[in-house]
Structures are given as C-alpha cells and as structure tokens.
Amino acid sequence: MSRETYAKRSLGEVYDKVHKAKVLMVGAGGIGCELLKNLVLTGFGEVHLVDLDTIDLSNLNRQFLFGHEHIKKSKALVAKETASKFNPNVNLVAYHANIKDPQFTVKWFKSFDIVLNALDNFDARRYVNRMCLTADIPMIDSGTTGYNGQMRVVIKGKTECYECNPIEPPKSFPVCTIRTTPSQPIHCIVWAKSYLFSQLFGIDEDASPDLDNTENKENEDELKNLRLENEELKKVKNAFGTVEFAKLVFEKVFQIDIDRLLTLADAWKHRRAPVPLDFASIKAEADAAGYEDLDKVAALLANDQPVWSLHENFVVFTDSINRLSKRLVDLQNRDLGGSKSILTFDKDDDDTLDFVSAAANLRSIIFGIETKSKFDIKQMSGNIIPAIATTNAIVAGLVVTQAFKVLSNDLTHAKMVYVSQPPSRMLSSGALLPANRDCAVCGVARASIEVDITKLTLGQFIDDVLKEKLSYTDEISVMTSKLLYDVEFDDNLDKTFEQLGIQDGSFITVMDEDEPEDGSTARVNLEFLVLTKEFSSEPAYTLEAISGIPRKPRPEAAESDSDENMVVPASTKRKADEIVETSNGNKKAKTETSGTSETIVLDDEDGTFLID
C-alpha cells in the first residue's frame, strides 16, 4: 500500500489537483513545521520552503521537525530533510534566505499555484501579501498568539487582503515615562532595547522614528534634559571599541544622567528618587566575587533563569558591551561604498539580549523597580506570548483544508477561521469578506517596470512614464515609504532611482490628486513594482502594458460639518519631512499637538510597543 492511498480515498477528485499543485510555504517555525508535515502527508506534489532563521533551543518544545542536534542550523534545510522522510515522493525545495531577497521576484511568485504564509512578524507578512497581490496568486495567511489563532484566504480583487484591516497594536507608554520616570520593569526594558541599544549600536535617535518626541509645556524641561543626554552619549561613542568604552557608557547612563534627573525636583515630590550607581565600587564588588575569572562569567551567562544581583548585572553589562563593540567594529571594517553597518536587537541573539537584560536591570535597581531574569526579559522584550504547540497544529490543519478549496476553485465554501481559548467557542468561522475599497494595498492598480536604477531619474519617470504614457497631470504625488515628489516638493527630480534608495523589488506608489472638470473622481493609486535591469541605451526602462487605471468610487455624502469656511494658506514649497502618510495611503502635513504627545510606534519582528 502506497503512502498516498488514504489521501486519495479521502480527497477523491481533489487529490489530483493537490498532487499537481506547486506550493510556496513561507516560514518554518511553529505553524510552518506542522504545516509542512500536513502538506507532505496529504500528497502535495511540490513544496518550496523559505525561511531565514536558524534553530534555537527554545524552538524545540513546539517545532517538532527539529532536534538538539539541529541547533544553530537552518530551519528551512532541516525541515526539508526531516519532512522528506515522511513522504519521499514529494519534491521539497528549501531556501535558507529572506523572502524579501531580490532572487524571489514577481515572476518567481507567479510560478506557484498557492502561497501559504506561516510567518511570525508583521513586516514580512505585509511584504508577502503585496507580492501575492502583484503576482495575482492566492494566499492563505495564518498566525497564532498563545491559545488564539486565525487563518484567512486572500484572493486579489475578491477578498480582503492582509492589510485591509490592520491589526490593532498593543498598549502604549509615554516617552518621558520611559526616559525619565519609569515605574515598571517593561519601562526599563523598552529603554534598554529601543533607546540605549539603538543609540550605541544602531541608528541615532535623531534618525529614528521610534522615539521622536513632541514637546509641550508639561514635558519641556524633561525633553531638554533628554536632548542633552543624547549629545553627551554621542561624545561617549567616540571611545567606541576601546577598553574604556564600557566604563564611559556605564558612568554616563547610570551615574551622570541620573544625577541630572535628580535636579528635576518636582518629578520626585511624590515618588522615590533614583539612586545613581558608582562604577568603581560595583566593579570592586564583582572582582571580590571572583568575576575576573572568565569561566565564572561564562557560567553566569549560561543560565537564564536566576535573577542577577547588582554586581552580576554589572558583569554582564560590561562583558556584553565589549562583545557587541567588537562585532560592530569588525562589521564596519568590512563596509564598502560608504555604507555603515549597524546592529539590531534580536531576542535570539545572546549578545544583544545580554546587553538589554543587564542594562534594563541596572536601570530598575536605580529606580527601585523589581528586576527580572534574562528569561523573563527575553519574553517581554519581544512582546512575546508563549507559543502553544496545539494551537499551531490546529491552525496548520485549517490552512490545508482551505487550500483544498482554493485549489479546487471552490471559493464559496472557503472561510476565515478563528481559534479561541475556552470558555469561548474554540472554533468560529465566517465567509470571506470582500476587498476593502479604501485599502491602500489591495485597493490600488498594479504594474511592473524594468528600470536601470543607475540611469533613470525621478524626473524622467514622471515626464516619460506618468505624464506621457499614462496621461497623469501635474497633480500627482510619488511615494515609496517616504514622499519623493508632489507639485510642491520637487527636490528629487534630478536624482536617479538608485540615489533615492529604490532597489529591485521596491514599490513606488503614484497618487492621482487631479479633480477632472467632468465631475468624475481621481484614479485609484497606482503601485509600481520595480525590477532592475541594465539598459545600454535610452530609454532606461521598459513598462509593462497597463490596460487601464480605474477611478475611485464616488464617496458617500459626508455627515460632518461643512468645511467651506476653512482657510487654506497659500501654497508653499514643502520639505519631505513635513509630510506624513496616513493609514489609508493619503498624505497630510504634520501638525503640532498641545497637551499630549503624538503616538510613536516601536515595531520589530516579534511585536509592537506604542509610545505616545
């Protein structure tokens, strides 16, 4: 009896479609391991698997395709090796790579019959969503959070996409609470991860949107203090890579800055004042405990369960900052073309986690806050809810059952399914919802353009492609993740795509702001996928045929007060940083706020903190 016998009996006519299907699976983590097992055992003929991660010890309690012998090896390659033993007849192709790499083009996406998304971070899920919409390939997205999970089918033009209804982000913290008056362990962890680590090893705060502060009367003195701290920390960075660096950073953030905070007398009238730390005395305590012995330091770092003492946090802080400094110096010594390498926080990177854990605990000690173990800080720093293997298995099974319907073109029976923790109903489902016409991602027209990014300028793109070939007027805006051009901002016209940071796989959005005299509406946004190609002669691009760009639906009658009396100032030329993009893809000028700060988002692969 062959391995496919029971699958053929169970699936009937569907089996032939399943067996001939070419599937792309993105992600080989908790859901991915269960999903790959299901795919090979139900007889899918060809499965391509993409995952950038390597296997960590903490994965083994739920990602059953991996064992202790696989730690630090590629998830994708090991998953292929293990799953192929379940059914050797399946053609498995594994890529230890980032799905956003240039090798994974739209043409490559189009070669698949269906894409199954099993990713654990928002950015990559958004990217795969856009690529599937561009390639017009059905996608099934899935995710879990503890005992809760969900999966949905995404079909271009027929259903909601992943971004039609953005996921509501978690709770928020005021900036000055994080930087001046912390009262909870999470405040100190966010400070260590998103401020101190970024300042020392990543991008300067001035260049980061994560901790952009809006000043008002209530926080004016505090923010002046914070700016002074930033300038002093930049001076400390001049000693980067030297033996004195750890000492200088410690004294700066745990002594000098704290002494300055104590001068804000009003801040400590009704709360415990912070107590600065003294480098020399704590070092003497650590030396007396025998931590000059590197073997003892290694033993301390090997166990993430205990809550470290003051001098143990000191040891981990100085040791990790030296490790990170050496790493970054080595990276920057290999930099080419004027680029400058940086380090980013990763909860599975021991060097970065050690630094954040020790820095957060030292700050907690200063403010009289409970300290946490390295294990607890790993959970909190990634905003992680522990994964449940059973939830992953349920969701993976649901994905495969919906894949049968998609491959059979039976969309009337395809569902969105949610898994919930008792006492709620464990499984609930609903019909697929139609696409959101106001979605900035799927409510757009799409096209691709082959470009020699070293030759084509933004001005040529606007004149030759948008105006001449596509009949746009001057009333347009051109954007990537930032504004490149509109009628009041034309600073970039002479810059090439390469100079503007546009690369292979980048998306360019064209927004039509013209109001035709015939009373019709403007055209929907047009999103170009850029494909790089060298051209020996002009023009330095090839545009795919575009059949037509539909117009926006006419808005319903507004219920709000009329704005006929609104005073619109005379047009003035704006800078790119004076314009922000709203959630629906529209633009608006930045405005000052009073009384409260604007919301700032700290978003990484493992979750989101809001700071407002």
Tell me the DSSP string of 422-454.
TTS-SEEEEEPPPP-TT-TTTSSEEEEEEE-TT
Task: Quote the tokens at residue 301.
Answer: 């770092």
Question: In angstroms, rounded to a whole number, what is the distance separating the alpha carbons of residues 133 and 148?
Answer: 27
Peptide bond into 539 cis (omega under 30): yes
The residue among 527, 552, 577 that closes a domain is 552
Query: How does DSSP assign 326-342, residue by residue?
Result: HHHHHHHHT--TT----
Residue 609 near residue 383 (C-beta atoms within 8 A): yes
> Which is it for the CA torsion 321, 322, 323, 328, positive or negative?
positive
Residue 330: per-residue pLDDT: 86
User: How far apart are alpha carbons 283 and 288 in whole angstroms?
Assistant: 8
The mean pLDDT of 286-295, rounded to a whole number, is 93
Beta-carbon contacts of residue 556 (< 8 Å; ≥ 6 apart): none
**Domain identity same for 306 and 400:** no
pLDDT tier for residue 555 given thresholds of 50, 70 and 90: low
pLDDT tens sequence across 70-126: 987 899 999 999 999 999 999 999 999 889 888 898 889 999 999 999 987 777 888
354-369 mean pLDDT:
96
- The dihedral over CA atoms of 539, 541, 543, 549, expressed in degrees to the nearest 10, equals -90
CATH number of the CATH domain containing 215: 1.10.10.520
Is it the case that residue 249 has pLDDT exceeding 70? yes
| Mean pLDDT lowest among 87-96, 226-235, 295-304, 410-419 | 226-235
Rounded Cα–Cα distance for residues 484 and 492 (Å): 6
Among 310, 286, 281, 283, which Cα is nearest to 297's?
A: 286
Tell me 365's DSSP state: H
Rounded-to-integer distance, Cα 131 and Cα 322, Å: 41
pLDDT interval class at 552 (50, 70, 90) = confident
User: Residue 26: is its pLDDT beyond 90?
Assistant: yes
The answer on pLDDT for 505 being more than 60 is: yes
Q: Are residues 197 and 312 in the same domain?
A: yes
Instruction: Annotate 456-494 with b (16+ C-beta within 10 A) or e (fewer).
Output: bbbebbbebbbeeebebeeebbbbeeebbbbeebeebee
The mean pLDDT of 422-432, rounded to a whole number, is: 82
Query: Could you read off the pLDDT of 602-612 as tens digits, one per residue?
Result: 333 333 343 33
Q: Are residues 185 and 148 in the same domain?
A: no
Residue 46 located in a structural domain: yes
Q: Which helix (H) or strand (E) holds 49?
A: strand 46-51
Examine the pLDDT at 146 and tell me if it is beyond 50: yes
Q: pLDDT at residue 441 above 60?
A: yes
Over 50: is that where the pLDDT of 260 sits? yes
Residue type, 299: A
Residue 569 has pLDDT above 90, yes or no: no
Q: Which of 176, 188, 439, 442 is catalytic?
A: 176
**What distance lies between CA 495 and its chain's CA centroid?**
28
Does residue 318 sit in the same domain as residue 212? Answer: yes
Give whole-number Cα distances, 505 to 448, 450, 607, in Å. Answer: 10, 10, 25
Q: Among 431, 462, 492, where does a domain finish?
A: 431
Q: Kindly state whether residues 140 and 268 are assigned to the same domain.
A: no
What is the pLDDT, as a whole number, of residue 222?
52
pLDDT over threshold 80, residue 600: no
Please determine, for residue 595, whether its predicted confidence score (pLDDT) is greater than 70. no
Q: What percentage of the chain reaches a pLDDT higher than 90?
A: 41
- Residue 121: predicted pLDDT: 74
Q: Is the same domain home to 218 and 336?
A: yes
Q: Given a cut of 80, is residue 382 above it in pLDDT?
A: no
Task: Give yes or no for residue 335 having a pLDDT over 80.
Answer: no
Amino acid identity at 490: D
Residue with tokens 């604007």: 598
Specify the amino acid at residue 579. Answer: I
Chain-wide mean pLDDT for the chain? 81
Q: CB under 8 Å to 331, separation ≥6 — which residues?
A: 341, 343
C-alpha distances out from residue 379 to 240, 319, 374, Å: 29, 22, 9
Shared domain for 315 and 194, answered yes or no, is yes
Q: Give the residue-averaged pLDDT of 144-172.
A: 81
Domain containing 285 equals 180-382
Place of tokens 């504004």: 483
Same domain, 191 and 92: no
pLDDT at res. 559 = 47
Reported as a pLDDT band with limits 50, 70 and 90, residue 12 is confident
Which pair of structure tokens corresponds to residue 374?
């390295």
CA dist 546 and 218 (Å) reads 54
CA 383 to centroid of chain Cα atoms: 13
Domain-terminating residue out of 537, 552, 567:
552
Q: Please report whether residue 163 resides in a domain.
A: yes
Three-state SS across 511-536?
EECCCCCCCCCCECCEEEEEEECCCC
Backbone angles phi, psi at 508, to 5 degrees: -120, 125
Q: Are both 121 and 161 inside the same structural domain?
A: yes
pLDDT of residue 560: 44
Mean pLDDT of 379-384: 71
The answer to the question of residue 288 being in a domain is yes
pLDDT of residue 485: 93
Residue 573, pLDDT above cutoff 70 = no
Structure tokens at 420: 């919930």
On whether residue 354 sits in a domain, the answer given is yes
* 59 secondary structure, DSSP code: G
Clarify whether residues 337 and 474 are in a common domain. Answer: no
Do 325 and 402 have their domain in common?
no
Check pLDDT > 90 for residue 336: no
- The answer to which of 55-64, 118-127, 498-507, 551-560 has the lowest mean pLDDT is 551-560
Residue-wise pLDDT for 61-75, tens only, equals: 889 999 989 987 899
Asked if pLDDT for residue 350 goes beyond 60, the answer is yes
Structure tokens at 250: 């410690």
The whole-angstrom distance between residue 339's C-alpha and the CA centroid of its chain comes to 22
Residue 475: both structure tokens together: 């009333």
pLDDT band of 495, cuts 50, 70, 90:
very high
For the domain that residue 465 is a member of, what is the CATH number? Answer: 3.10.290.20
- Whether 308 shows a pLDDT value over 80: the answer reads yes
Yes or no: say if 23 and 113 are a contact pair by the CB < 8 Å rule. Answer: yes
Q: What is the CATH number of the domain that holds 406?
A: 3.40.50.720
Q: Bigger pLDDT: 597 or 109?
A: 109
Report CA torsion sign: 452, 457, 462, 463. negative
Task: Flag whether pLDDT at 497 surpasses 60.
Answer: yes
Please indicate whether residue 176 is annotated as part of the active site. yes
Q: Is residue 218 part of a domain?
A: yes
152-161, 226-235, 484-493: least confidently modelled range: 226-235
pLDDT band at 401 (very low <50, low <70, confident <90, very high): very high
Confidence at residue 171, expressed as pLDDT on a 0 to 100 scale: 54
Per 3-state DSSP, the chain is made up of helix, strand and coil in percentages (nearest 5) of 40, 15, 45
With respect to residue 256, please indicate whether it lies within any of the assigned structural domains.
yes
Question: Given pLDDT bands bounded at 50, 70 and 90, which one contains residue 594?
Answer: very low
Identify whether 372 is part of a domain. yes
Number of structural domains (the chain) is: 3
Segment 158-175 shows an average pLDDT of 71
137 with 231, same domain? no
Q: Residue 298: count other Cβ atoms within 10 Å of its Cβ.
A: 10
Give the dihedral sign, CA 166/172/174/175: negative
- CA atoms of 417 and 118, how far apart (whole Å): 15
Q: Could you tell me the two tokens for 337?
A: 């073309």
At 438 the pLDDT is 78
Structural tokens at position 520: 């019709």
The verdict on residue 566 lying in a domain is no
Kindly give the interhelix angle for 374-381 and 350-366, rounded to the nearest 10 degrees.
100
Q: In Å, how far are 27, 112, 172, 308, 379 from 374, measured between CA atoms?
A: 27, 42, 23, 8, 9
Backbone angles phi, psi at 273, to 5 degrees: -75, 145
Please tell me the distance from the alpha carbon of residue 320 to that of residue 316, in angstroms, as a whole number.
6
Q: Find the angle CA(347)-CA(140)-CA(445) to the nearest 5 degrees.
A: 100
- The pLDDT value recorded for residue 220 is 56
